[in-house]
């Protein structure tokens, strides 16, 4: 730095009182807006506007013959009594109730195991569990679809060698479980990473205090680590609510293998997609999407509400 | 996917496109409530002077098509008309391309000048006024070059010419000669013989099925209905359609197949997935009821079985008769709203009628021809195919092409009809439930959909 620059800076630098007088709030706020602007633009353009447009669309009915007419809330009343949509909602709710606890439990155990420091090759283990998350869900589903294959899949062949009937992973009884297995395989590692990161942030004094009190590894995990993980678990849970209710890729790809099991209304998202792109019922699809969004908001809020109440009590 | 996919590569392309579209709630970003753009231009003929002027004015055309290496045919066109530059875009095969086209048309931006449309989708796009009538550009004079039923497929109810045919899929039967020989089965000539053979084969070897009727393949079902003389849809007016999916003839075909499926002599695996490819390679199915594009497709996907296959016509409902149906086939259409209708129409005309170009389609991309001249060309039909033990398969299918009924029509809402078929009739096959009731359900769902879309539906 040259002397010259320092001089100039010195000459320009306002005194502290000056800063206070100009109002730190205003000038900082302006800069703040500037920083937030790119996000706000993207947010408006890619989220708010499309949502508003979809809301607008959902109020009309466009038909192949007769063009577009204003339908008011007709699409919504139709959706609320549509057995195919309600069936799909019920299915994803069931999926959420069974798959998510299993996935979070495995993720939590894995995170605690790595954090305990007792594992050998912890890094390899961590990577191994996380790796499926790096596989795109489409690829994962294709892979599992092959494994599930009723004639030539490895499980079927193994069963054949043992003279057992081939497992019917793709039948209507098993399909939801088969999809749950794929989703668990994919996302356990993701949840594990969130939980593990949260564990690393737990202050070490707590562990020391526990050790002084004579707590073993399991007691420490139960009484210190898991309570400390509550906010992180909540994040995982909210993501899972959203993921479950938006289930789309897995059922859509499994549809190729078992089209008679997975129909176009298997999940609400698949139904909305089919309505828009197969039936050209864009308006009704918009209404269905909005209702799905509303269900997700309500479910997320319910999860949040219950967990905060529990933590207070 | 309920549409046939010809190569696994393109299957992947379609899959990738589906993936792009699958972003949850992505609906919000597309679609639109706008009105349909304009009406039909009056069908006044464009003068030769106008055509000459348009073809010598520097122009850039966009052409959406999923035919691999179509650039070769397009190059021939550009050589003849150096002023016209054609940009070839692969926007996905079948469904994904149609979805993009609809979206671009709604947005009134980014749509191509010329586009590949399958036969069965022409009414779906002409009803939304998305295609141009090609009569003003002299398309009517091309009629005699084409196999009659293929031409009939592109003609609208008021005589409009919506597209120029490119390839077709008259249906026949590919069979495993080795399996037939091993079990002493003669090539069935009628559906009765076919049923007897199915029972005999499956009893002799429970791991083998005479054929697989895919539970999700509405295209084959329509082809079989077509052969049986069923007219599931008729476009009776601009806003009326006749839907007859569960009539007596239709039930006859359904009863036949559901009978074989229920006794277990015919399988119902979903097709065009890995399991199905493996089944073909490992001899789970002794025949594949398929279209004229099937032989080359099979050659690519069941390499392990080379030399073991032969081709024959479809079995017949009445002994001594010789009729077939069609599965698949494409056209080139011009998109309503293009700024270069003349050049686009001439592109569609040129690539599908120029002798050199059509021959390339037949011999390099293995599209099954729709022009009479090529179907009579000995260098095409007399070519022996080693995969089929040296049989002249093209000749067989060229003969079958003449036996396809001209009168078959498609509804203006084909996606829905296909999808509903899979969820009613196809499902009844897979679950071995009452197919007749499923036909009634299919009729009911399709009718309700059509009425909901504003059509007057005759039954």
Q: Which domains does chain B have, with CATH numbers?
A: 48-167+330-366 (3.40.190.10), 171-326+395-457 (3.40.190.10)
How does B81-95 read in b/e, with b if 16+ C-beta sit within 10 Å? beebebebebbbbbb
Asked whether residue A49 is assigned to any structural domain, the reply reads no
Q: Which residues contact A202 (CB under 8 A, 6 or more apart)?
A: A224, A225, A228
Q: Do A285 and B27 touch (CB under 8 A)?
A: yes
Domain match, A16 and A122 both: no
Write out the two tokens for A150: 């009723």
Q: What CATH number is associated with residue A255?
A: 1.10.3720.10
**pLDDT over 70 (residue A237):** yes
Residue A310's pLDDT band, with cuts at 50, 70 and 90, is low
Query: What are the residues facing B457 on neighbouring strands?
Result: B241
More confident residue, B339 or A2: B339
The Cα–Cα gap between B130 and B123 comes to 10
Q: What angle do CA B35, B37, B38 make, to 5 degrees?
A: 120
Helix (H, G, I), strand (E, B) or coil at B5: coil
Confidence band of A307 (pLDDT split at 50, 70, 90): confident
| Minimum-distance CB partner of B426 among A152, A259, A272 | A259
What is the spatial distance between Cα B332 and Cα B113, in angstroms, rounded to a whole number?
10
| Sequential pLDDT tens for chain B (459 residues) | 334 444 443 443 333 333 333 333 333 333 333 333 334 444 578 899 999 999 999 999 999 999 999 999 999 999 999 999 999 999 999 889 999 999 999 889 999 999 999 999 999 999 999 999 999 999 999 999 999 999 999 999 889 999 999 999 999 999 999 999 999 999 999 999 999 999 999 999 999 999 999 999 999 999 999 999 999 999 988 889 999 999 999 999 999 999 999 999 999 999 998 889 999 999 999 999 999 999 999 999 999 999 999 999 999 999 999 999 999 999 999 999 999 999 999 999 999 999 999 999 999 999 999 999 999 999 999 999 999 999 999 999 999 999 999 999 999 999 999 999 999 999 999 999 999 999 999 999 999 999 999 999 998
Based on the fold, state whether residues A285 and A194 are members of the same structural domain: yes
B320 touches chain A (CB under 8 A): no
Within its chain, how far is the Cα of A282 from the centroid?
25
The predicted pLDDT at position B32 comes to 34
Token pair for A239? 């993501």
Phi, psi at residue A126, to the nearest 5°?
A: -60, -45
Cα–Cα distance measured from residue A18 to residue B46, given in angstroms and rounded to the nearest whole number: 78
Decide if pLDDT at A23 tops 70.
no
Nearest to B345 by CA among B358, B331, B362, B359: B331
On the CB side of B363, how many CA atoms lie within 13 Å of its CA?
17
Cβ contact A152–B278 (<8 Å): yes
Nearest partner of A186 among A235, A240, A258, judged by Cα: A240
E strand or H helix at B270: none
Q: Are residues A150 and A201 located together in one domain of the fold?
A: yes
The predicted-structure confidence for A272-306, as pLDDT tens digits, reads as follows 999 998 888 999 999 999 999 999 999 999 988 88
Nearest Cα neighbor of B37 from B335, B451, B346 is B335
pLDDT of residue B287: 98
Cα–Cα distance, B60 to B53 (Å, whole number): 15
Q: Which of B437, B448, B438 is nearest to B413 (CA)?
A: B448
Is residue A271 in a domain?
yes
pLDDT at A139 > cutoff 90? yes
Q: Is residue A135 part of a domain?
A: yes
Residue of A nearest to B97 (CA): A277
> Distance of alpha carbon A80 from its chain centroid, rounded?
25
**In this structure, are residues B453 and B237 in contact, taking their beta carbons and an 8 Å threshold?**
no
Which parts of B317-449 are beta strand (E)? 326-334
Give A16 to chain B, closest Cα distance, Å.
50
Strand-pair category, B59-64 with B114-118: parallel
> Within this chain, do residues A213 and A260 fall inside the same structural domain, yes or no?
yes
d(CA B40, CA B134): 11
- Compute the nearest-CA separation of B231 from chain A (Å): 22
The CA angle B159-B165-B166, to the nearest 5 degrees, is: 170
Distance (Å) of CA A291 to CA A87, A271, A297: 14, 12, 10
B422 neighbourhood in chain A, CB within 8 Å: 259-260, 263
Q: What is the pLDDT of residue B337?
A: 94
Q: What is the pLDDT of residue A204?
A: 87
Of B375, B376, B369, B334, nearest in space to B352 by CA: B369
Alpha helices in B302-371 (DSSP H): 341-353, 355-363
What is the Cα–Cα distance from A141 to B440, expressed in whole angstroms? Answer: 34
Torsion-angle region of residue B315: left (phi > 0), alpha (psi -120 to 50) or beta? Answer: beta
Q: Is B236 an interface residue toward A (CB < 8 Å)? A: no
Question: Å from B64 to nearest chain A CA?
Answer: 19
Tokens 């007088």, located at residue: A21
Q: Is there a single domain that holds both residue A88 and residue A29?
A: no
Q: CA-to-CA distance for B134 and B126, rounded, in angstroms? A: 12
Of A53, A61, A64, A293, which to mutate for an interface test with B (greatest number of B Cβ within 10 Å)?
A: A64
Facing residues of A63 across strands? A67
Q: How far apart are CA B293 and CA B272, in angstroms?
A: 14
Residue of B nearest to A149 (CA): B275
CB neighbours of B75 closer than 8 A, spacing ≥ 6? none
Residues B422/B207, Cβ–Cβ less than 8 Å: no
Asked if residue A163 and residue A16 are part of one domain, the reply reads no
Band of residue A127 on the pLDDT scale cut at 50, 70, 90: very high
The residue in chain B having the minimum alpha-carbon distance to the alpha carbon of residue A52 is B28
Within B22-147, where are the H helices? 48-56, 71-80, 95-107, 122-126
pLDDT tens for A47-87 read 999 999 999 999 999 998 888 899 999 999 999 999 999 99
Number of independent structural domains in chain A: 2
Which of B24, B423, B452 comes nearest A263 by C-beta? B423
Angle between helices A49-57 and A282-312 (to 10 degrees): 120
CA dihedral for B308, B314, B318, B322, sign (positive or negative): negative
Res B19: pLDDT: 37
DSSP summary character for residue A65:
T
- SS3 percent helix, strand, coil of chain B, rounded to 5, is 45, 15, 35
Within an 8 Å CB–CB cutoff, is residue A284 touching chain B? no
Residue A47 domain-assigned (yes or no): no
- Is A285 part of the contact surface with chain B (CB cutoff 8 Å)? yes
Q: Does A140 share its domain with A18?
A: no
> Mean pLDDT throughout A147-157?
89
Contacts of A277 in chain B (CB under 8 A): 21, 95, 99, 415
B216 touches chain A (CB under 8 A): yes
Query: Considering the domain boundaries, does residue A64 fall inside one?
Result: no
Whole-number pLDDT of residue A306: 84
Mean pLDDT of A143-152: 90
pLDDT of residue A30: 85
Residue from B312, B321, B350 nearest B334 by CA: B350
- Tell me: do A19 and A108 sit in the same domain: no
Same domain, yes or no: A173 and A273: yes
What domain range is A22 assigned to? 1-40
Contact A281, B102 (CB under 8 A): no
CB-based contact, A244 to chain B, within 8 Å? no
Residues A235, A125 within the same domain: yes
Which tokens hold the place of B284?
Answer: 């789970």
H/E stretch holding B173: strand B163-176
Residues in chain B with CB shorter than 8 Å from the CB of A262 are none
Nearest to B419 among A152, A272, A274 (CB): A274
ipTM of the complex: 0.81
Chain B from 9 to 38: CB within 8 A of any A CB: 15, 18-19, 21-22, 24-25, 27-29, 31-36
The whole-angstrom distance between B361's CA and the closest CA on chain A is 30
Torsion region of B85: left, alpha or beta (phi above 0 gives left; psi -120 to 50 gives alpha)? beta
Please check whether residue A54 lies inside any domain of the structure. Answer: no
Q: Is residue A70 assigned to a domain? A: no
The pLDDT of residue B115 is: 98
Tell me whether residue A234 is in a domain: yes
A54 contacts B27? CB cut-off 8 A: yes
Chain A, residues 87-126, CB within 8 A of chain B, namely none
* Interchain CB contact of B99 with A (< 8 Å): yes
CA separation for the pair B443, B171 (Å, rounded):
25
Alpha-carbon distance A299 to A97, whole Å? 12
Q: How far is residue B17's CA from residue A309's CA, in Å, rounded to a whole number? A: 45
Same-domain check for residues A24 and A116 = no
Q: Do A28 and A129 fall within a single domain?
A: no
């Amino acid at each position: 730095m040259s002397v010259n620059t320092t001089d100039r800076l010195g000459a320009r630098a306002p005194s502290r009182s000056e800063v206070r007088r100009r109002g730190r709030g205003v000038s900082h706020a302006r800069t703040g807006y500037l920083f937030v602007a790119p996000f706000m633009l993207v947010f408006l353009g890619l989220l708010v506007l499309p949502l508003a447009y979809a809301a607008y669309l959902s109020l009309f009915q466009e038909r192949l013959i007769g063009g577009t007419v204003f339908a008011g809330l007709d699409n919504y009343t139709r959706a609320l009594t549509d057995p195919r949509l309600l069936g799909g909602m019920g299915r994803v709710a069931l999926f959420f109730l069974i798959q998510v606890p299993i996935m979070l439990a495995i993720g939590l155990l894995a995170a605690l195991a790595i954090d305990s420091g007792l594992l050998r090759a912890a890094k390899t283990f961590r990577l191994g569990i996380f790796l499926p998350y790096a596989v795109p869900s489409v690829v994962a589903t294709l892979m599992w679809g092959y494994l599930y294959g009723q004639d030539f899949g490895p499980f079927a062949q193994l069963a054949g060698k043992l003279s057992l009937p081939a497992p019917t992973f793709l039948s209507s009884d098993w399909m939801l479980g088969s999809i749950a297995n794929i989703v668990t395989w994919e996302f356990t590692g993701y949840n594990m990473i969130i939980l593990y990161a949260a564990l690393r942030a737990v202050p070490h004094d707590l562990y020391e205090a526990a050790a002084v009190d004579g707590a073993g590894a399991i007691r420490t995990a139960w009484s210190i680590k898991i309570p400390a993980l509550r906010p992180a678990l909540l994040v995982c849970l909210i993501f899972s609510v959203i993921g479950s209710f938006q289930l789309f890729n897995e059922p859509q790809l499994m549809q190729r293998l078992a089209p008679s099991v997975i129909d176009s209304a298997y999940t609400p998202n698949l139904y909305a997609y089919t309505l828009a792109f197969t039936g050209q019922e864009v308006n009704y699809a918009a209404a269905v999407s909005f209702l799905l969004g509303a269900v997700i908001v309500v479910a997320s809020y319910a999860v949040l509400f219950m967990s905060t109440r529990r933590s207070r009590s | 996917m309920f549409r046939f996919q010809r190569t696994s590569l393109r299957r992947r392309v379609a899959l990738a496109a589906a993936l792009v579209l699958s972003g949850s709630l992505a609906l919000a970003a597309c679609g639109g409530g706008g009105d349909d753009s304009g009406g039909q231009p009056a069908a006044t003929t464009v003068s030769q002077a106008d055509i000459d002027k348009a073809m010598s004015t520097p122009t850039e055309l966009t052409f959406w098509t999923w035919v691999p290496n179509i650039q070769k045919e397009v190059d021939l066109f550009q050589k003849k008309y150096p002023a016209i530059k054609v940009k070839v875009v692969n926007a996905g095969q079948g469904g994904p391309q149609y979805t993009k086209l609809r979206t671009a048309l709604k947005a009134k931006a980014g749509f191509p000048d010329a586009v590949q449309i399958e036969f069965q989708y022409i009414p779906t796009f002409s009803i939304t006024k998305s295609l141009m009538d090609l009569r003003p550009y002299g398309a009517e004079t091309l009629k005699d070059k084409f196999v009659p039923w293929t031409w009939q497929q592109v003609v609208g109810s008021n005589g409009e010419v919506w597209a120029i045919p490119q390839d077709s899929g008259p249906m026949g039967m590919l069979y495993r000669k080795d399996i037939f020989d091993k079990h002493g089965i003669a090539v069935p000539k009628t559906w009765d013989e076919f049923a007897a053979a199915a029972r005999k084969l499956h009893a002799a070897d429970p791991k083998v099925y005479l054929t697989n009727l895919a539970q999700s393949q509405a295209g084959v079902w329509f082809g079989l209905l077509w052969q049986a003389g069923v007219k599931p849809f008729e476009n009776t007016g601009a806003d009326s359609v006749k839907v007859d999916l569960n009539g007596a003839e239709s039930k006859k075909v359904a009863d036949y197949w559901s009978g074989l499926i229920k006794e277990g002599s015919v399988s119902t695996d979903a097709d065009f997935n890995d399991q199905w490819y493996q089944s073909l390679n490992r001899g789970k199915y002794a025949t594949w009821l398929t279209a004229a594009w099937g032989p080359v497709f099979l050659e690519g996907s069941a390499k392990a079985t080379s030399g073991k296959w032969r081709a024959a016509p479809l079995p017949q409902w009445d002994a001594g008769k010789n009729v077939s149906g069609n599965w698949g086939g494409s056209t080139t259409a011009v998109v309503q709203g293009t700024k270069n209708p003349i050049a686009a129409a001439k592109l569609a005309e040129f690539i599908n009628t120029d002798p050199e170009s059509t021959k390339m389609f037949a011999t390099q991309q293995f599209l099954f021809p729709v022009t009479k001249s090529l179907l009579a060309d000995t260098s095409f039909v007399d070519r022996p195919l080693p995969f089929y033990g040296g049989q002249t398969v093209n000749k067989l299918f060229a003969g079958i092409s003449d036996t396809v009924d001209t009168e078959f029509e498609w509804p203006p809402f084909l996606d829905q009809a296909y999808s509903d078929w899979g969820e009613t009739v196809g499902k009844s096959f897979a679950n071995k439930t009452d197919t007749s009731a499923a036909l009634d359900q299919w009729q009911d769902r399709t009718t309700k959909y059509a009425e909901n879309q504003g059509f007057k539906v005759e039954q």
